[in-house]
Amino acid sequence: MPTPWQATPEQERDLQLLEETQFIGPSLTGYFTWRMMEEWREKQDAKSIATDVTLAGALAKTPWQWIDAACRAHGLPTKGRRAAKAAQLAARLTDPEHLRSTVRGLRLEERLVLKRVLDAGGWVKFAALVAEFGDQEQDGWFWNEQAPVSTIGRVRLCALLFVGKGRVGGRGATPIALIPQDLRAPLAKILEADAARLAQMDDYALTRTLAAVAEYYADKKSAARLPRAWLEAFLRAAAAQGRDVFGEWEDLQRFDYFLFRQRIEGVAHVLGFHLSEWTHTFLRRKYLGEFWLPAKRRMLKTVAAFYEFGAQRGEIEPSVAQRVVEAVKTITEGKGELGYVPPPPPLGGEVIMVATRGKESEPLTFNDRWLTIVCAADYGKDWDNVYAATQSVTDGAIKAKLIERLERLGPEVWDALSQADESEIEHARRWFREERVLTLSAW
């Protein structure tokens, strides 16, 4: 299933529209087109393939769009019948000089892909290759129109690597990546010249992960919430233990985005209910596509491991790490849907939305919400009446100043703030009459 995309502001609005009306807004059409092509590629990669297939046999099952793209990559004409073009490709790639020239034209990491597969005996589980070198989700389907950009995709473009489901180890069909049998020996000989350089690359998964981290922090600057040094140390430890280091980086990147968007100052301020909010609501509303339950469980457990690692290094208070670990356990302990950690009762200063007026933004808190609920429920949505009532309530002068600010924001904001059930209406009434205005936040 395609990995969800982080939504743009326009896509977030269209996601809300889709949830409420089932109407697909214009900003979502590009995503659904990409998703369709990604599913076509996944279906192609799910076709059966023998671990000892020859180049001609592998090309016989390759889509014509990819045959044409490979012909172009090897300087062959793209006109003519598919079978004839596949035969030309097979002849070209089994020419020793052309094969050597093709390999020399690959990037070093692309040659490392070939070495990994050859070292494993000519085929390897596809998931292991993706974990080290990355997925193909930006490669599309029409390679004849736009060549693949991923590391694995660029090797496949040259018809040196093929993907399918193979029966290995006496079990059912498993997604594998393989080099055709008749190319293995000549490729191994060609790669001998790169042995020293390829050995120095060690674990490419960590190399590309740290490069992605550096790019992320260069782009986010002050917006990132996770400490970079702590994060990089965590990822190095994950790589040393043979874990999916890039996958864990993606988990933590999504967590960091949540902290930023929810205005959570840093890792020490995360409460249990935040993790529920992240996995139950935020991922659905801020990303295109669906995170399946196993992916959410994994993200939560990665965050728990990150906090435990930080506590071991003295980067964070053990009590904070324990709070997060216990919350993750509560959310993930069942076998079915994720559990839920409820938020503590709000004190009043918690920001719940941000209103915009021209170029200015106005954070709105529960204090504003309770005032607006009272205005709608008891004063006919007339702020003058609420303002007059502040003369006889607790902290009336402060509540009057809040009213002056709310009046300037307009009906759309009031309507958004005033939606409430009966229990919250009763709470808002009691707060308005009897309680002080607190700027403290419970979360």
pLDDT band for position 194 (50/70/90)?
confident
Average pLDDT over residues 197-211: 86
3-state SS, residue 98 = helix
Identify whether 345 is part of a domain: no
My answer on whether 113 and 175 are in the same domain is yes
User: Residue 170's pLDDT is what?
Assistant: 67
**What per-residue confidence (pLDDT) applies to 200?**
77
* Residue 344 belongs to some domain of the structure: no
Q: What is the mean pLDDT of residues 417-423?
A: 91
Its domain, for residue 151, covers 46-199
Asked whether residue 20 is domain-assigned, the answer is no
Q: Would you state the pLDDT for residue 388? A: 95
Phi and psi (nearest 5°) for 5?
-100, 145
pLDDT at 1: 62
**In terms of domains, do 50 and 179 share one?**
yes
Mean pLDDT of 192-218: 87
Q: Is residue 41 part of a domain?
A: no
pLDDT tens sequence across 64-106: 999 999 999 999 999 989 999 999 999 999 999 999 999 999 9
Looking at 178, 199, 220, the residue that finishes a domain is 199
Could you tell me if 159 and 175 lie in one domain?
A: yes
pLDDT at residue 276 greater than cutoff 80? yes
CB 124 within 8 A of CB 177: yes
User: Are 184 and 122 spatial neighbours (Cβ–Cβ below 8 Å)?
Assistant: yes
The strand ranges marked E within 321-387 are 351-357, 360-365
Among residues 166, 199, 232, which one ends one of the domains?
Answer: 199
Using CA atoms, how far apart are residues 246 and 211, in angstroms rounded to an integer? 11
211 and 235 together in one domain:
yes
Q: Within a domain: residue 423? A: yes
Residue in the structure block whose two tokens are 């989700």: 137
Q: HSE of 8 in the Cβ direction (CA atoms, 13 Å)?
A: 8
310 and 394 part of one domain: no
Specify whether the CB–CB gap between 328 and 303 falls below 8 A. Answer: yes
Residue 25 pLDDT: 80
216 in the same domain as 184: no
Between 315 and 196, name the one with better pLDDT: 315
Statement to judge: residues 189 and 107 lie in one domain = yes
Burial code (b: 16+ CB inside 10 Å, e: under 16) for 27-51 equals bbeebeebbeebeebeebbeeebee
State in Å, rounded, how far the first CA of the chain is from the last one. Answer: 35
Rg value, the chain, Cα: 28
Mean pLDDT to the nearest integer, 142-152: 94
- Residues 277-285 have a mean pLDDT of 93
Q: In whole angstroms, what is the distance from residue 61 CA to residue 56 CA?
A: 9
| 362 and 254 share one domain | no
Average pLDDT value for residue range 205-220: 91
Q: For residue 248, what pLDDT band results from cuts at 50, 70 and 90?
A: very high
Band the pLDDT of 203: cuts 50, 70, 90.
confident
pLDDT value, residue 247: 93
Q: Are 71 and 78 in contact (CB under 8 A)?
A: yes
Task: Identify whether residues 308 and 355 lie together within a single domain.
Answer: no
The last residue of a domain, from among 332, 360, 388: 332
The rounded distance, in Å, linking the Cα atoms of 145 and 148 is 10
Instruction: Give per-residue pLDDT as tens, 26-67.
Output: 888 888 888 888 899 999 999 999 999 999 999 999 999 999
State how far the Cα of 302 lies from the Cα of 296, in Å rounded to an integer: 10
pLDDT at 201 over 80: no
pLDDT band at residue 435 under the 50/70/90 scheme: very high
pLDDT over 80 at 292, yes or no: yes
Same domain, 166 and 240: no
Q: Would 125 be classed as within a structural domain?
A: yes
Burial of residue 306 (number of CB atoms within 10 Å: 0-12, 13-18, 19+): buried
- Does residue 8 lie in a domain region? no
Instruction: Mark whether 235 and 286 lie in a shared domain.
Output: yes
**pLDDT, tens digit, for every residue of 160-176?**
999 999 987 766 789 99
Judged against a pLDDT cut of 80, whether residue 189 lies above it is answered with: yes
Span 419-431, mean pLDDT? 93
Residue 3 lies inside a defined structural domain of this protein: no
Is the pLDDT score of 387 beyond 80?
Answer: yes
User: How many domains does the chain fold into?
Assistant: 3
